[in-house]
Amino acid sequence: MDVTLGPGGGWTDPTCPVARTVDLVGDRWSLLIIRDAMSGASSFTDFRQQLGIARNILTDRLRRLVDHGILTTSTTAGGKRHVYRLTDAGQDLFTTIVALRQWGERHAFADDEPRSILVDRDGREVPELLPRDQDDEPLSPTTSRVEKTG
């Protein structure tokens, strides 16, 4: 996996996991490709039809997501088409996608505006994600802090 990024091969902020993650998957198209892969899209055509994205941008984002270990690719039996699947690292972005979705539900739509919802396998709306501490108490920006390691 190639994780060198940024001008001159550096990171936006080399010690910050948020900055490093945004460098890897933070642009609009990458996140939407990951979202659609989680919903079953697996071919270039699937992504192109669902997103309406330009071919050159889709090609670039798929290549980057494969290079960074978010997606893996294989060739179909006929050898002409690539199939894209989320890696374990890609699957680990599920919580991030759900958090973005839930933030959008709260802040990007008017109360009466139609939108999609995420439901579990029984059709029940997924409860709000909330980080918790070791004692299962809710965490917030005022009850947590960042500490540097090493």
CATH 3.40.50.620, applies to 7-91: no
Is pLDDT at 1 greater than 80 in this prediction? Answer: no
Torsion sign across C-alpha atoms 86, 31, 139, 149: positive
For residue 76, what pLDDT band results from cuts at 50, 70 and 90? confident
Tell me the pTM: 0.85
- In three-state secondary structure terms, 84 is strand
Buried b (16+ CB within 10 A) or exposed e, 1-31: eeeebeeeeebeeeeeeebbeebbbeeebbb
Tokens encoding 7: 């001008």
For residue 41, what pLDDT band results from cuts at 50, 70 and 90? very high
